[in-house]
Amino acid sequence: MSVVCLIVEILAIAYFTLLFREQGESHTYELELLWSYKKWILESNVAYGLEILNNIVLFFPLGFILTDAFQKCPLWSAFLFALAVSSCIEVSQLVFRIGLFEFDDIFNNVFGAIAGWCVFHVLKSMRRRRKE
Position 132 pLDDT exceeds 80: no
Span 46-96, pLDDT tens digits: 999 999 999 999 999 999 999 988 888 999 999 999 999 999 999 999 999
Q: Mean pLDDT across the chain, nearest whole number?
A: 93
Angle at 97 between CA 5 and CA 56, to 5 degrees: 40
Closest by CA to 3, choosing from 15, 126, 11, is 11
Contact, 108 vs 17, CB < 8 A?
no
Which run of H or of E encompasses 102? strand 100-102
| Residue 2: per-residue pLDDT | 86
Residue 65 and residue 8: Cα distance in Å, rounded? 10
Helix (H) or strand (E) holding 100: strand 100-102
Backbone φ and ψ of 45, nearest 5°: -90, 100
